[in-house]
């Protein structure tokens, strides 16, 4: 199975995939550079959150689905998968597509976040683009490091090194992107209308934001648990709650699909 998943991943790693990643990285950096001129920032962490916290939290569920789930939906719509069925059990094909989809979406977002992180922490200081004034925030060289540890959720990891934080946070965003791609994947299988199926992850994300805000459970909003830059730091376990709930729902849907595979009209 691993061999087939790797083969599927290789077949999907097209120039379009790299171009999309490069374009999105370039847009986010350009936007951050443009906006940063109007602000005084504390440090590289501020610049990093600037690159991520602008449009990415809104685009996140859309891009997660666009990376690969959309092409999977097209393969179903054009009946490509139907013609694999006399060559390999359909459950195996779905498993391969599911994991390839999840891994590639993870890779896309991991690379995106790590690129933004490298730019903010290692390239921007060389270029001197941003306007830093930590003193304006009452910060000195003595207390600025301690301040970053307590600034946002996941910056707790800065204690273990800048790169550790960058990698852990990129992994976290990548995992969540994979999860939203997985939600799109199961919806494409369960719903006849592929446009509805592909839009629902975004609807779930937005409805989740408003519902949890209305219920006073803002720290569990998907936008906050994935991009925790507009509030004070929360314990890391709070971010795991919505992730775990959505993962359980996806796992349950996959079990349902496996048990009802011959009833799914999309695949015949």
Partner 1 sequence: MKLIEVVNVSKSFKGIQIFNQANAVFEQGNIYGILGPNGSGKSVLFKLICGFIKPDQGDIIIHPSYRSRRADFPQNFGIIIDRPGYAAGLTGFENLKRWAEIRNQIKDEDIKRTMRVVGLDPDARQKMKSYSLGMKQKIAFAQAIMENQQVLILDEPFNAMDVDSVKVLRELLIKYKQEGRTIILTSHNEEDIELLCDQVYQIRSHKLVPVNTMAKV
User: Which residues of this chain interact with partner 1, rule CB under 8 A?
Assistant: 7, 11, 71, 74-75, 78-89, 262-263, 267-268
Min separation Cβ 94 and partner 1, Å: 13
Give me the least distance between CB of 86 and partner 1, in Å please. 5
**CB of 212: closest distance to partner 1 in angstroms?**
38
Minimum separation from the CB atom of position 111 to partner 1 (A): 22
Tell the smallest beta-carbon distance from residue 109 to partner 1 (Å): 22
Comparing CB distances to partner 1, the nearer of 14 and 30 is 14
Nearer to partner 1, 16 or 159 (CB): 16
The residue among 47 and 72 lying less far from partner 1, judged by its C-beta, is: 72
* Alpha-carbon gap, residue 176 to 108, rounded angstroms: 12
Residue among 88 and 159 whose Cβ is closer to partner 1:
88
Query: In a 10 Å sphere around its CB, with 0-12 CB exposed, 13-18 middle and 19+ buried, how is residue 255 labelled?
Result: exposed
- Token pair for residue 143? 């207390």
Query: Count of alpha carbons within 13 Å of 132, Cβ hemisphere only?
Result: 19
Q: Where are the alpha helices (DSSP H) in the chain?
A: 2-12, 15-36, 44-52, 56-67, 69-77, 90-118, 124-127, 144-149, 162-190, 194-214, 222-226, 236-259
Q: Least separation, in Å, of the C-beta of 7 and partner 1?
A: 7
How far CA 109 is from CA of 13, 17, 25, 86, 218, in Å, comes to: 14, 12, 10, 35, 24
* Closer Cβ to partner 1, 41 or 81, answer by number: 81
Three-state secondary structure call for residue 41: strand
Query: Residues 257, 189: contact at Cβ < 8 Å?
Result: yes
Instruction: Tell me whether residue 138 or residue 265 sits nearer to partner 1 (CB atom).
Output: 265
- Note whether 65 and 97 are within 8 A (CB): no
């Amino acid at each position: 199975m691993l061999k087939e998943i790797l083969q599927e991943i290789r077949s999907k790693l097209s120039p379009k995939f790299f171009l999309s990643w490069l374009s999105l990285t370039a847009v986010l950096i350009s936007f951050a550079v443009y906006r940063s001129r109007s602000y005084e920032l504390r440090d590289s962490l501020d610049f990093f959150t600037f690159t991520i916290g602008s449009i990415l939290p809104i685009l996140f569920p859309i891009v997660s689905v666009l990376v690969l789930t959309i092409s999977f939906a097209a393969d179903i719509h054009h009946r490509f998968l139907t013609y694999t069925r006399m060559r390999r059990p359909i459950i195996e094909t779905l498993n391969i597509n599911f994991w390839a989809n999840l891994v590639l979406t993870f890779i896309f977002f991991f690379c995106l976040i790590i690129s933004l992180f490298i730019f903010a922490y290692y390239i921007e200081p060389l270029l001197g683009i941003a306007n830093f004034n930590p003193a304006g925030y009452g910060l000195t060289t003595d207390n600025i490091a301690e301040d970053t540890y307590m600034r946002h959720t996941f910056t707790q990891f800065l204690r273990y090194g800048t790169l550790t934080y960058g990698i852990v946070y990129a992994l976290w965003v990548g995992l969540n992107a994979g999860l939203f791609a997985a939600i799109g994947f199961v919806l494409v299988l369960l719903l006849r209308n592929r446009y509805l199926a592909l839009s629902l992850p975004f609807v779930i994300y937005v409805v989740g934001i408003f519902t949890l805000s209305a219920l006073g459970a803002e720290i569990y909003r998907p936008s906050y648990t994935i991009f925790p830059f507009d509030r004070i730091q929360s314990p890391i376990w709070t971010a795991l709650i919505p992730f775990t709930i959505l993962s359980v729902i996806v796992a349950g849907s996959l079990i349902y699909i496996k048990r009802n595979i011959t009833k799914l009209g999309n695949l015949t």
